[in-house]
Amino acid sequence: MSMEEGKQYAYRYPRPALTVDCIVFGLDDEDILKVLLIQRQLPPYKDQWALPGGFVQMDESLEEAARRELQEETGLQDVFLEQLYTFGEPGRDPRDRIVSVAYYALINLTEYNLQAATDARDAAWFPINQLPPLAFDHPQIFERAIARLQGKVRYEPIGFELLPTKFTLTQIQKLYETILGHELDKRNFRKKLLKMDLLIPLDETQQGVAHRAARLYQFDAQKYQQHKKQGFNFEL
């Protein structure tokens, strides 16, 4: 069989359509973890909320497709983005056999140009525990993304992407509690967190708070990269 025949062989198969879907987590200025959703303009699931996404073009990689769709639909760019999982149950889209490669992104909404993302028609941020009904199998994509975050906080300082540059220990604890879905013992959490030696205490405190202003910290970017490479355990 020649190369040309090999090519024919590849062409012979009927093909599912291929899309990307993006689940964007953003931590807002009240430390609430939110997900970015788009209200669908077209059937199926017209007017329902869904993850931003769309068809993969023939000349772009999957990650390029995810970044392009994210920018087109929400204005977001240059975000932390990783592949999550590929969803391909035959009945997941009523139009056709459509397989979707899901990506998840993490951003901080205080520092990001949130306006850009919500300028897009019908885009909105929802707290992760107050999501509207989602189109397609997007509830499953959401569940898997949360599970990934829960796994990741155990061995990566994932807050790095979600928190603002300067943050308090209370903020990082709240973020971990939101992701894990349960409260953590404050003293124990802080002990473990500081033991990781990833945080730089700053000579600054919070501004404009009613209660006693807490010390601000930032991540040690160099140690973070090193830890990320080697992997580590953060037993919670």
Which residues contact a copy of itself (rule: CB under 8 A)?
1-3, 5-7, 9-11, 13-18, 42-44, 55-62, 83, 85-86, 88-90, 93-99, 101, 150-151, 154-155, 231, 233-235
CB 88, min distance to a copy of itself, A: 4
Give, for 156, the enclosing helix (H) or strand (E).
none
The answer to whether the beta carbons of residues 142 and 148 sit under 8 Å apart is no
Helices (H), the chain: 3-11, 62-74, 114-119, 138-155, 159-162, 169-180, 186-195, 221-230
CB 113, min distance to a copy of itself, A: 29
Look up residue 156 and give its two tokens: 């990566």
CB 14, min distance to a copy of itself, A: 5
**Is the Cβ of residue 90 or residue 133 nearer to a copy of itself in the bound state?**
90
**Residue 85 to residues 35, 42, 82, 142: CA-CA distances in angstroms?**
17, 25, 10, 11
Q: Mark 53-75 as b/e (b = at least 16 C-beta within 10 Å).
A: bbebeeeeeeeebbbbbbbebbb
CB 11, min distance to a copy of itself, A: 7
Look at residues 199, 196, 216 and name the one whose alpha carbon lies nearest to residue 208.
216
**Is the Cβ of residue 92 or residue 166 nearer to a copy of itself in the bound state?**
92
- Cα 212 to Cα 186: distance, rounded to the nearest angstrom: 17
**Is the Cβ of residue 57 or residue 188 nearer to a copy of itself in the bound state?**
57
Number of neighbouring beta carbons within 10 Å of residue 222: 9
**Is the Cβ of residue 83 or residue 165 nearer to a copy of itself in the bound state?**
83
CA 157, 161, 162, 166: dihedral to nearest 10 degrees? 90
**Is the Cβ of residue 98 or residue 124 nearer to a copy of itself in the bound state?**
98
CB 153, min distance to a copy of itself, A: 10
CB 3, min distance to a copy of itself, A: 5
**Is the Cβ of residue 11 or residue 211 nearer to a copy of itself in the bound state?**
11
**Is the Cβ of residue 85 or residue 112 nearer to a copy of itself in the bound state?**
85
CB 54, min distance to a copy of itself, A: 9
